[in-house]
Amino acid sequence: MSGAMINVLYFAHVAELTKTREEQWPLPQALTGADWLAQLELRYPQLSPIKRLKLAVNQYHVGHDSLIKPGDEVAVFEPVTGG
């Protein structure tokens, strides 16, 4: 493994479920958001269904088909409803 990492931030209910707000993840090569979320679900099965979660990479909202690359900052959060 190359030692490449991503910084992962968890917000609101996601942070409550993971019991952390931030952690480092090894990421030796780029993955799609969907592939990375599948790994996240293995680590934190309580986040299921994982497909509902939203991602931001380097502070930009992205779709699950976007690439996450070593060195990126990835934020994970639930969809927000207004009201």
Structural domains in the chain, sorted by start: 5-77 (3.10.20.30)
Express the helix, strand and coil content of the chain in percent, nearest 5 each: 30, 35, 40
How high is the pLDDT of residue 81? Answer: 53
DSSP E strands: which ranges in 1-83? 5-10, 22-26, 31-32, 54-57, 60-62, 67-68, 73-77
How high is the pLDDT of residue 1? Answer: 41
Pairing of strands 54-57, 5-10: unpaired
Residues 10 and 74: their CA atoms lie apart, in Å, by 9
Q: What are the pLDDT digits (tens) for 3-26?
A: 699 999 999 999 999 999 999 999
Residues 68 and 54: their CA atoms lie apart, in Å, by 13
Asked whether the predicted pLDDT for residue 28 surpasses 60, the reply is yes
Q: What are the pLDDT digits (tens) for 30-79?
A: 999 999 999 999 999 999 999 999 999 999 999 999 999 999 999 999 98
pTM of the prediction?
0.91
Residues 8 and 39: their CA atoms lie apart, in Å, by 13
